[in-house]
Amino acid sequence: MPKKRKTDGEITFSEKIQEQKITDTLELNYMPYAMSVIVSRAIPEIDGFKPAHRKLLYTMYLMGLLKGARAKSSKVVGQTMQLNPHGDAAIYETLVRLTEGNGALLHPFVDSKGNFGKQYSRDMAYAAARYTEVKLSPICSEIFADIDKNTVEFVDNFDSSMKEPVLLPTTFPNILVNPNQGIAVGMASSFCSFNLKEICEGTAAFIKNNDINIMDYIKAPDFSTGAELLYNEEEIRQIYETGRGSFKLRAKYTYDQKNSCIVVTEIPYSTNIESIIDKIIALVKAGKAKEITDIRDETDLKGLKIAIDVRKNTNVELLMHRLFNQTPLCDSFSCNFNLLINGRPKTMGIKGILSAWTEFRVNSIKNQLAYDLEKKKAKLHLLEGLGKILLDIDKAIDIIRNTEKDSLVVPNLMKGFDIDQIQAEYIAEIKLRNINKEYILNRIKETEDIKKEIDNILDTLKSETKIKNIICSQLKAVAKKYGKNRQTDIVYAHEIKEIPTEDFIEDYGIRLFLTEENYFKKITLVSLRTSGEQKLKEDDRMLMELESTNKADILFFSNKQNVYKMKANDIAETKASSMGDYLPNILGMEEDEKIIYFTATTDYNGMMFFMFENGKGVKIPLNSYSTKTNRKKLINAYSAKSPVIFMSYIEEDKDFILTRDKDKACLFNTNLLSLSATKNASGVQLYTLKKNSRITAVYEKDGFISDDIEYYRTDKIPSTGHFIKDEDKEKNNIEMQIKL
């Protein structure tokens, strides 16, 4: 805008648009937010907690809930707002996950009463905070061990009204004991849980010798929901060394043979009951799990239970392998050991994490020892002052009694016994009944013990080895007091029975139908017996039909020399009363492309025979269309040099009849052709054609009506054929075909 002229008493305004680099804008506006999420919200620190967890647990500690009775959850949530200024819903949700009732943690930090939902259920909602009660679990005594002895740093809360710990001085590597997931800006964190006993033993061994094979101590991850871990040594080693990788968990089940019922009692930590049931129901509806007759969620107060009713004589092992392959009954857990070390995010393997935790714990114990040292020195100082009045107790009493003003008692004692103010204050506060020789002698006896304790503390502070021995003894005590047996069983690779993918597919007879308009049907033979007439689109007609099995691969040949492959099992079953699936939609075909032929195979044995207008024919092994990978489209499936007029799958060589225009025919056996090495070979000349002549039709031998079919036989190629007899033309409508 143009500047206004300035007049007396008038303010001049100027608007100016300034260009700013997008990188500068991001740095100034977005980076602070991103760093706040990373550092203050989503990524756990070396004590194994995110800020929301730490603030909540510390609030409960201050409320005396470590040893006292349970308090209403709503009261805890309200008190936590002094440290965590978020909404009550977010705080309560954090509390829920830490509870024993929810079951998300191997070692819950909150002893709970009431409904807190379940880790393994998506729809089981937790009760409102006003209905539930909580207190800290006994293991929290290890989380807050000596926190009042300056073991960790304290900082002001958001409004500087109170102090809160930066970290909690946990006596065991909680970061590896309880699972933790978080998504920050540009990074994420995902910690699986490990068995407390194994972690404590492994950590103690690592502290003593950094070169140990950690896998000898920490066998594998362990989860509160149990299930089975499919152990792959290379996968686990990668996770242990790099902090990244994934492994598979699968459900535990039993089979009730009497009631033909599969009972699932433990599921992978990363899934839930509802997702499993929804997926199994979808498989049943798609006809891919016909053995299953019903599925129910029978979870109750005793624990998780999914009941799957199956038909009698079902191969349960095979069915469960299929369900493991196709549903979340077998699921992966991805690890990303990303945590904050001194405010910086780092992804580390287990040894790196244990090294960082050990350093943190060494500093915590040093702080605690320094605190104890100061307290011991202060006590020794007081006792040394008390020892001085032992020489003349009567003098001390006389000084106190004869001092007229209360404010002069301490100065007079200082002067009378040559002690400092702190010692004098202590002596002045002793009760009258304790100013006797016995009491003072008993107190002074403590002096030698305190001196020894001080010397021990000083020796320990100077020796990191002694400090590490303290850590190891604490780890041993934690493992003994709180350790549990593994919840998640380890199933080694050699124990897993390998079942080919093909065996997962249910085997039963089917009939396949293709119409001219490219509608396709898959109908079971059982259904076909009771079916009526096949429903077709108006003006559509049946092009071909074929009987096969649900385990077959189906090859669709198009008019553009492409082959589309699908497994019969992947095609939905339909009924005669349905028009079927429209192939261009399910195959992803090109524009104006049509399927002109299909075949089905389970072993890719046999051949494809192609006949072209120019009189050439070719035999291609069917295994030319077999691929190691599950490719759905193959190009150049046959030659494009001349229009194809006929194609057929043949198991072995057979007779065909070619007709040229309307005058000649030739009967030959495909053994006259050798197999082609390439799919799009142009073929061998079977019939010698005149100029402007072409092959008009191909018949299978049984499809051509003639009293003397061998009349047209040729044993050499190319052939000029034989003139078609008039009666054979009439019987096979050859004149009519040409006119059409």
How do residues 130-184 score in pLDDT, each as one tens digit? 999 999 999 999 999 999 999 999 999 989 999 999 999 999 999 999 999 988 7
Is 206 exposed, middle or buried (CB count within 10 Å of its CB: 0-12, 13-18, 19+)?
buried
Q: Are 529 and 547 in contact (CB under 8 A)?
A: no
Neighbours of 258 (CB within 10 A): 6
Read off the pLDDT of residues 143-155 as tens digits, 9 standing for 90 and up: 999 999 999 999 9
- The CATH code belonging to domain 359-482 is 1.10.268.10
Second-level CATH architecture of 252-328: 2-Layer Sandwich (3.30)
pLDDT at 112: 95
Q: How far apart are CA 426 and CA 406, in angstroms?
A: 15
pLDDT at 738: 42
Is 739 exposed, middle or buried (CB count within 10 Å of its CB: 0-12, 13-18, 19+)?
exposed
Q: Does pLDDT of 740 surpass 50?
A: no
Q: Does pLDDT of 466 surpass 90?
A: yes
pLDDT at 426: 83
pLDDT at 437: 73
Helical residues (DSSP H) of 286-349, grouped into ranges: 316-326
pLDDT: which is higher, 622 or 436: 622
pLDDT at 439: 76
**CATH homologous superfamily for 49-169?**
Topoisomerase II, domain 5 (3.90.199.10)
Calculate Rg over the CA atoms of the chain.
Answer: 42
Q: Of 93-102, 404-413, 609-618, where does mean pLDDT reach its minimum?
A: 404-413
pLDDT at 254: 95
Mean pLDDT of the region 496-515: 81
Mean pLDDT of the region 469-481: 96
Read off the pLDDT of residues 641-692 as tens digits, 9 standing for 90 and up: 999 999 999 999 999 999 988 788 999 999 999 999 899 999 999 998 888 8
CA distances from 644 to 243, 640, 691, 733 (A): 58, 8, 18, 22
Mean pLDDT over each residue of the chain, to the nearest integer: 89
**Is the Cα dihedral 473, 479, 480, 481 positive or negative?**
positive
Q: How many CA atoms lie within 13 A of 305 on its CB side?
A: 12
Phi-psi region of 641 (alpha: psi -120 to 50; beta: other; left: phi over 0): alpha
Second-level CATH architecture of 502-739: 6 Propeller (2.120)
Catalytic center residues? 131
3-class DSSP assignment, residue 641 = coil
Q: Does pLDDT of 306 surpass 90?
A: yes
Q: How far apart are CA 589 and CA 518, in angstroms?
A: 11
CA distances from 105 to 48, 74, 179, 188, 543 (A): 12, 22, 7, 20, 61
Q: Which two tokens stand for residue 324?
A: 């493991």
Q: Which two tokens stand for residue 208?
A: 């003593």
Mean pLDDT of the region 429-437: 74
pLDDT at 739: 38
Read off the pLDDT of residues 181-194 as tens digits, 9 standing for 90 and up: 988 787 889 999 99
Question: How are beta strands 489-492 and 228-231 bridged, if at all?
Answer: parallel
3-class DSSP assignment, residue 247 = strand
By 3-state DSSP, what share of the chain in percent is helix, strand and coil, each rounded to 5?
A: 40, 25, 40
Tokens 């025979």 locate to: 609
Q: Which two tokens stand for residue 45?
A: 């620190």
Q: How far apart are CA 655 and CA 700, in angstroms?
A: 6
Strand order in the sheet with 330-336: 180-183, 188-191, 330-336, 244-250, 228-231, 489-492
Q: Does pLDDT of 406 surpass 50?
A: yes
pLDDT at 735: 65
Domain locations in the chain? 49-169, 252-328, 359-482, 502-739
Q: How far apart are CA 618 and CA 612, in angstroms?
A: 9
Q: Are 670 and 609 in contact (CB under 8 A)?
A: yes
pLDDT at 9: 52
pLDDT band at 420; cut points 50, 70, 90: confident
Reported residue count of the chain is 740
Q: How far apart are CA 175 and CA 172, in angstroms?
A: 9
Q: Does pLDDT of 496 surpass 90?
A: no
Q: What is the dihedral of CA 355, 359, 365, 367, to 10 degrees?
A: -170
pLDDT band at 244; cut points 50, 70, 90: very high
Determine phi and psi for 489, rounding to 5 degrees: -75, 150
Tokens 């409508």 locate to: 733
Q: Does pLDDT of 14 surpass 60?
A: no
pLDDT at 445: 81
CA distances from 311 to 288, 316, 419 (A): 14, 10, 93
Provide the whole-model pTM: 0.78
pLDDT band at 407; cut points 50, 70, 90: confident
pLDDT at 399: 85
Angle at 726 between CA 724 and CA 730, to 5 degrees: 105
- Helix 464-482 / helix 437-462 crossing angle, nearest 10 deg: 100
pLDDT at 1: 44
Share of the chain above pLDDT 70, in %: 96
| Cis-peptide into 345, omega within 30 deg | no
pLDDT band at 55; cut points 50, 70, 90: very high
Q: Does pLDDT of 252 surpass 60?
A: yes
Q: Of 22-36, 160-174, 231-245, where does mean pLDDT reach its minimum?
A: 22-36
Mean pLDDT of the region 320-324: 91
pLDDT at 13: 47
Cα Dmax for the chain: 154
Share of the chain above pLDDT 90, in %: 64
DSSP 570-591: GSPP--TTS--EEHHHHHTPPT
